[in-house]
A = this chain, B = another copy of it.
Amino acid sequence: MSAVPPPFPTPQESVDHSELLQLGTALGPDEPCLRADAARNRARLLEAAARLVAERGADAVTMEAVAAEARVGKGTVFRRFGDRTGLLTALLDHSEKKFQAAFLSGPPPLGPGAPPVERLRAFGCAMLRRSTDELELQLAAEPGASRRFTAPPRRVLRHHVAMLLRQVVPEADCELLSHTLMGQLDPALIHHLTRQCGIPLARLEDAWVDLVNRVTGTAPAR
């Protein structure tokens, strides 16, 4: 597309990207067969639900509240999402896809075009901000212990971290190291640190950047 090739298109990156995209597809497309007006309607409902989460927490997301917020009849919300669980699942998928698009093809440093270590730093900070915004929603949707690490959205994120790590510290066990880094971004941990311990988000971001620097043996570019 662009006349200037991105500075870090290594073979590993392209291989892993296709894997990422397959995983992304496994999440299910955003119902591409909907008629344009139905798709707009669905997106409007999801944006309304996301506003409710941001303003009043996940508990406030009922079928009735979303209908009122989007100014449609309650029946429309039920026809579109079936029940509240269907609505919350669709909401997380929607948010997941926006975030995937940002780190797979958005502007640097989160997206391609920045050095991989800068992308790693940006990825964690973006994840921390996103989790803080959607904490109740993510906690409510947390799978049980035996499925927590196999759920497709988490696999997409971890593969991305592993792909970046392999470009920075190819000698390390990047598969396991990516789990370590992802652990720092676990919604249950973020909940504990921010809500139960009162640690401000900025300190979590600093700790993420410091962790990336220590693990990769790099100092931040300031």
Contact = CB atoms under 8 A, between A and B. Distances in A.
B203 A176 contact: yes
Nearest to A142: B145
Contact of A207 (B145, B177, B183, B210): B177
A43 interface: no
A14 interface: no
A139 B149 contact: no
A177 B211 CA distance: 8
Contacts of A184: 176, 179-180, 183
A2 to B, nearest CB: 35
A141 B125 CA distance: 32
Interface of A: 139, 142, 145-146, 148-150, 172-173, 176-177, 179-180, 183-184, 186-189, 191-193, 196, 199, 203-204, 206-207, 210-211, 214-215, 217
Q: Which 6 A-B pairs have the closest CB atoms?
A: A183-B183, A149-B192, A145-B188, A176-B207, A173-B207, A214-B215
Contacts of A173: 203, 206-207, 210
A214 B145 CA distance: 28
Chain A interface helix/strand/loop/mixed: helix
Contact of A145 (B176, B183, B187, B199): B187
Given A150-B196, A176-B203, A211-B215, 14 more contacts: A139-B146, A145-B188, A149-B188, A149-B189, A149-B196, A173-B203, A173-B206, A176-B193, A176-B199, A180-B184, A183-B183, A183-B186, A214-B214, A214-B215
A176 B196 contact: no
Contacts of A142: 145
Contacts of A199: 176
B179 A148 contact: no
A186 B176 CA distance: 13
A105 B146 CA distance: 34
